[in-house]
A and B are shown apart, each in its own frame.
Chain A
Amino acid sequence: MIEEESLEERKANVLIKLRKYKLVKKEKVKDIVSYLIEIPKEKQKALIWCIPEESTVGILTVNRLGKAMKEANVERGIIITGGRYTHAAKLNAKKKKIELLPRIFPSFDIFEHELVPKHEILTPKEREELLVQCRIQPYQLPQIKASDPAVKAIGARPGDILRIIRKSQTAGMHIAYRYVVE
């Protein structure tokens, strides 16, 4: 089976597209496809590693990526795999600012699915306006888990507020908000 693109690469592409990352360099080392990207919003650089499905991601891989990040002088790292993560890998990744993308992360743009409305992260100004207008603390909004696929896709973090643009049967269009929690 010769595939033009592996599942992990497709996932990486979707991720780059959805989070509006800028691709700098793509290379292939052995099994691992690595992307060097720029995160425009935070002006950081990140390394994305795609690890094929068969292997389980252990602490070794995480450490290797950490090393690679240091060499390339990159702040953040992302691992994409169809395989499993070991517990140790999960613990270590957080320290090294490496995000482990869950393996159910879809290889297509979930926002194209008819059930999924558009999610956007509020800017600090919009956020302030919303909280003042509703006279609430952020936690009084409906919540959304940080592990939610839609949150992962747009790269929101706990504490962010999302704007959700729903198609509505009663009003035509409706804007809802959700607060990202852990």
Chain B
Amino acid sequence: MALEEIVHKIVDEIGFGLFSPQDIRKLSVVEVQTPDTYDEDGAPITAGLMDGRLGTLEPRQRCKTCGNTAIRCPGHFGHIELAVPIIHIEFTKIIYNILRATCRNCGRILLPDDRIEKIQVRTNRARQLLGSVPDEVYKNNIQEMIKAKQCPHCGAMQYKITFEKPTKLSEEIPESGSQPLTPSMVRERLERIPDEDLELLGFNPEAARPEWMVLQVLPVPPVYVRPSITLESGIRSEDDLTHKLVDIIRINQRLKENMDAGAPTLIIQDLSELLQYHVTTYFNNEASGIPPARHRSGRALKTLSQRLKGKEGRFRSNLSGKRVDFSARTVISPDPNLDINEVGVPLQVATRLSVPEKLTEWNIEEMRKLVINGPEKYPGALYIIRPDGKRIRLEFVVDREKVAEALEPGFIVERHLKNGDIAIFNRQPSLHRMSIMAHHVRVLPYKTFRLHLCVCPPYNADFDGDEMNLHIPQSEEARTEARLLMQVQDQILSPRFGGPIIGAIRDFITAAYLFTRKANYLTKDEVGRLLVAARYEGPLPEPQIKKPQPLWSGKQIFSLFLPKDLNCVLKATICRGCAKCLKENCPYDAYVVVKNGELKCGVIDRRSIGAEQSESLFHRIIKDYGTQAAREFLNRITRMLKLFITMRGFTYSYDELVLSSKAEDKIRKTMEKIEKRIEELIDSYRRGTMPRLPGQTIEDSFEIYVMNELAKARDESGKVADEDFTLENSGIIMTRTGARGSSLNIGQMSACVGQQAVRGKRIMRGYVGRALPHFEPGDPSPKARGFVYSSYQKGLDSVEFFFHAMGGREGLVDTAVRTQQSGYMQRRLINALEHLRLEYDGTVRNSAGDIIQLKYGEDGVDPAKSDHGRAVNVSRLIEQIKIAIEKSRPASAEYIKKRLKEFESELTPLLISELKQGLAKAKLSKEGVEKAIKLTVKHYKRALMEPGEAVGIVAAQSIGEPGTQMTLRTFHYAGVREQNVTLGLPRLIEIVDARRIPSTPIMTIYLTGKHKKSREAAVKVARNIVHTALEDLAQAVYEDPVHEEIVVELNKTMMEDREVKSQELKDKLKMENFTVRIRGNHINIKPKKVEALKKLLDKVPSLHIKGVPGIKRVLVTEERGEWVIRTDGSNLSKALEVPGVDSCRTTTNNVHEIAKTLGIEAARNALIHEAKGVLEEQGLDVDIRHVMLVADMMTSTGEVQQIGRHGVSGKKSSVLARAAFEITVPNIIDAAVKGESDPLAGVTENVIVGQSIPIGTGLVELYMSTSELKGENK
């Protein structure tokens, strides 16, 4: 077979720079001189904007320059000779800086020679030390140059240059005032700057001479860039860019004519300015200080800058994201009879999508049949591709049989989709890699995609109208990769937390509970039906009850699907958490024991087989028996459970919501009790005897008290309802087994809906002093402020209904806001980490090859292959060996120690110590010890992350994806009721943003020695910490104009409170230029100069007396048996120096402060601790390795950097990647000036140029050392 010669080109690098006028002219094929486009016949005018030499738009016409048709012609640039030089708008800032930094006379930079030399030495040193020169160096250079008043080279005086937006530059000359700098003058000055000097300004003179930033020639883009469209009416409509170019040419022509005619300068000046305006808006129609150019309809034109930037711009919309063929989208619906690996594809879709299949002598007959069937009849074919590359569209073939006859091996038939083909299935938003998985096609009737219910959690799909996308991989390579890497069964274990993300949900769990609970016995007939449904083919076990008729227990039947040597113990979801666990004798049957593949006791519910449950029964199966066994297990039990619940029936009816009269009574009593208490609260509030909570106003304190009471009321009544129902109640079954809902929902349905809140407060908005006109103004009763006494079952009255709608509205808004915020956070995380990958040496590096982590996650373990975060489950391993191996003389402790020492280099210190402890306890024989160590090493090696893995993307997804599940606006109490801390999504965003000051700065101060033992001692320390200014001690501060002094009236109780003595005060108040007298309760401060009095009055209240600045409040609390101080406000460096403070444990939540006082490594640890803390508090399970990677990335430069354009993303080495993220245009401009080049080593860059990405399987390349080959030849 003749080898096809495929031209395979790879873009190695993209360089950025400026075009010189010569370059532009050389590139140009036509000088555009007339502003017209087409003549009356619709033919393009020569030397016009649509000149045929610029390329052609008509499909069958040939290009006048290259002779190609429209498809193959790349398009050619033209040019416009500008009558006067014009400043390019995007470079104005840079021009301004350079003009100020160079001499107006000789063009040298304004630094003496010795200084230049010094800077050069320093720059070279920095380059050697850091590999590159940081931007700040150039910035500092320029700053230094601007300061010069006189040129050190030619001695010329330098004048101040001012810049006015958008393009006006002028120079202030002392004698003649402000002189405008015309573009031609600017250009002349820029021309004078020597190349060597430019390097100190950060320019690369080879790629960009500064005078090129002032345009003399304007390139005209080819017509493909600005195609004109023909409307239905036959009228041609030109592109925005063409419109703008027409304007430019028109003015340019007029200017030229006027100049030739020797028109007065005023007219020339006006026209030049107009030309400047048009060129400016041609580049950027949103430049500040300039009105945007508008279309006749009033719409602002979309010019070059606007085409590139933003979400709908070229970069994000066309280059980072591309449109595809061979895809389908439709509504999804469930099908429990499918395999979890399968996707149901409608017949209509299957006949439109195709798979290319190469003909061989083994499939030729089958393919002939398909070709004969044609495109309409299923299984058919759409196209035939002959070996010479010609495509035959079967739709247009009349005699398909003849074509089928002509088929030969080597042809390619694009056939319809058939069962078993691989397809890629996706639901947006694609928040993690399990949002795109490979399924096997199953062609089915009707019009929806069908999927197994257990794969809903990874896609986050439901069936209320969701749509999903399907893609058919076309090459053998793509299909193989999809099958090996993306198949559903291989995605069961989530890399987020190392547990199964796929598992039983909803009714499967209800069914599993009903099936395995003690009361469930099945007849032979039923067992038969269930097992057939599950496709079980083994023998029936002995029935548990033999007489009067054989009955099998549910547990027995369930056991049939468990692997025969599975051992597992866990507590079910229905576990009530009794004080003393009775284990096997649990009254609720919540203690699950599986011994040798048999369910001995306990019910199966969410904890055992549910999705997103780590260390469950299902997790054990997949870890010990592999994904294939797990898939089959899930398939079988779900099919059986589905049939079981269909046979039994399961409903939740209205009467199951009705409480017994006893419970009703109880609820009524609780409500009465609480109402009474609230009345008391109202009473004491009105009388003013209510104690004020620290840091709150009286009103707020009252609200907090009432809210607490009302929350209690709802909880208590909910509890009554929850307890009133038995486990026979369907709602209770669902909530207790974890199938759906919570006990809160039960309480709201049956007992009391509870307080409705807006912005975390009771509802106060609406009318003045009241929410609704049904109440009196200022009525603080529960009813008037949105407490709903009724339950959903009884129904809400009109007032309650209104409040409920208010609360409900807030919930909806909250969700919408949250998805936006977390989406942006995810985008930033992905962008900052996408180019990180694991290298073959185990390091995590970015695309430039800089090391981020020396070993991924510090142990190199892939969270997806770990056992809920642990590399190897040592205790379980030893347990298994203990069962497998016969008992004999236990190995000595020395032996274990010795053997472990030998493996120190192969295992992590943590595993060694775990093994040491485990083996010592297990008392295994030498043989057992040997096996345990060997197996641990084997498992550890197997759990290691594979080279090429996109660890950054996985980390970003693992943190971003749960973001959507987080609550917004969570203020939570940290230990003490009085203190609020920002938590949840806002806090997480704060952490990755690396904000200078968190919204709620808090310190946790631990104490030493005696101070932590008693409250009094702790309070003493606290008094030295809380910041006390003079105003905190004063009743009043005022000016005494008679004596010309400031008087401060002191408050004795406040002074005692803060333990400030007047002597101390006197010491502190000693100031120069002032005399201070303290007489009893009055302090008189008299300045020496009378003028200082006013200033003094402003200064006096904030005079520092004692404590640590920045600490607003302190709270002394007892935690884990010791007294600690929590503060509102943070100042770590000062607080650590206070005597009595434990300088080993005291921390703050301000990461920057930690970096400043304890160093970057401490900041890294703090970042991990804070982020992990937020996630844990929200009940989200995220592997610590992901958090570590983010923290390492944020601290890799030695200071805490933001995840975003001002930090990590802005410092990426690739120009294209930076431009594709945010601030597109300035990034490209900077790159051009610096003459940067993009080595295309990262992800986004390669997506942009359309190459495969160097991550994962895309990393694999064939390397051959040419030098070695040469050696052999010799």
Contact = CB atoms under 8 A, between A and B. Distances in A.
Nearest to A149: B1159
B1133 A170 contact: no
List the 3 closest A-B pairs by CB distance, nearest first. A172-B910, A172-B909, A150-B1159
Contacts of A139: 129-131, 850
Given A116-B1158, A175-B854, 15 more contacts: A106-B1143, A110-B1158, A116-B1159, A119-B1161, A140-B851, A141-B851, A142-B851, A145-B1160, A168-B858, A170-B858, A170-B908, A170-B1185, A172-B908, A173-B909, A174-B855
Interface in A160-176: 164, 166, 168-176
Contacts of A110: 1157-1159, 1162
B398 interface: no
Nearest to A113: B1144
A145 B130 CA distance: 12
Contact of A116 (B131, B857, B1162, B1169): B1162
A143 B910 contact: no
Interface string A68-90: 00000000000000000000000
Contacts of B1145: 113-114
Interface string B259-284: 00000000000000000000000000
A167 B155 CA distance: 61
B913 interface: yes
Nearest to A167: B1165
Given A106-B1157, A168-B910, A142 B1162 contact: no
A37 interface: no
B843 interface: yes
Contacts of A136: 849, 851
A136 B440 CA distance: 45
Most buried by A among B912, B1156, B1162, B1192: B1162
Contacts of B1196: 142-143
A134 B843 CA distance: 8
B859 A114 contact: no
19 contacts: A104-B1133, A106-B1143, A110-B1158, A116-B1162, A134-B841, A134-B843, A136-B851, A140-B849, A142-B1192, A149-B1158, A150-B1162, A166-B1165, A168-B859, A170-B857, A170-B861, A170-B869, A171-B855, A171-B908, A173-B910
B632 interface: no
Contacts of B1154: 115
B131 A149 contact: no
A168 B841 CA distance: 20
A105 B848 CA distance: 35
B1136 to A, nearest CB: 6
Given A104-B1156, A107-B1137, A140-B850, A115 B1147 contact: yes
Interface in B842-886: 843, 845, 848-855, 857-859, 861, 869, 871
A182 B845 CA distance: 22
Contacts, number: 145
A115 B129 CA distance: 29
A141 B1166 CA distance: 21
Interface in B895-950: 908-913
Nearest to A144: B1198
A173 B1133 CA distance: 28
B764 interface: no
B858 A171 contact: yes
A177 interface: yes
A107 B685 CA distance: 49
A119 B1158 CA distance: 12
B547 to A, nearest CB: 57
A20 B129 CA distance: 27
A138 B1137 CA distance: 36
Contacts of A150: 1158-1162
A151 interface: yes
A104 B1158 CA distance: 10
A166 B1188 CA distance: 12
A181 B1199 contact: no
Contacts of B1157: 104, 106, 110, 149
Given A110-B1158, A142-B852, A158-B129, A115 B1165 contact: yes
B1197 interface: yes
A172 B852 CA distance: 20
Interface string B342-353: 000000000000
B663 interface: no
B1195 interface: yes
Interface residues of A, number: 46
B1162 A113 contact: yes
A181 B129 CA distance: 8
Contacts of B1184: 169-170
A140 B1197 CA distance: 10
Interface residues of B, number: 54
Given A143-B1198, A145-B1198, A113 B855 contact: no
Contacts of B841: 134-135
Given A170-B858, A170-B859, A142 B1195 contact: yes
Contacts of A172: 908-913
Most buried by B among A114, A142, A159, A178: A142
Interface in B1164-1189: 1165-1166, 1169, 1184-1185, 1188
A159 B128 CA distance: 10
A117 interface: yes
Most buried by A among B845, B911, B1157: B1157
Interface string A107-139: 110101111110100000000000000111111
Contacts of B1197: 142-143
B907 to A, nearest CB: 9
Nearest to B909: A172
B1166 A115 contact: yes
Contacts of B130: 139, 181
A7 interface: yes
B853 to A, nearest CB: 8
A144 B854 contact: no
Contacts of B851: 134, 136, 140-142
Contact of A174 (B843, B858, B1195): B858
Contacts of B849: 136, 140
Contacts of A171: 855, 858-859, 908-910
B1143 A164 contact: no
A138 B841 CA distance: 17
A13 to B, nearest CB: 14
B1136 A148 contact: no
Given A159-B129, A170-B1185, A148 B1143 contact: no
Contact of B858 (A107, A166, A177, A182): A166
B452 to A, nearest CB: 34
B1259 to A, nearest CB: 17
Contacts of B1159: 110, 116, 119, 144, 148-151
B325 to A, nearest CB: 42
A118 to B, nearest CB: 9
Contact of B1160 (A107, A113, A148): A148
Contacts of A134: 841, 843, 851, 854
Interface in B1092-1136: 1133, 1136
A162 to B, nearest CB: 9
Most buried by A among B850, B857, B858, B1155: B858
Contacts of A149: 1156-1159
Contacts of A176: 853-854
Interface string B121-143: 00000000111000000000000
A171 B908 CA distance: 5
B411 to A, nearest CB: 49
A113 B1163 CA distance: 12
B1158 A113 contact: yes
Nearest to B1163: A115
B648 to A, nearest CB: 46
Contacts of A108: 1136, 1143
A151 B1159 CA distance: 8
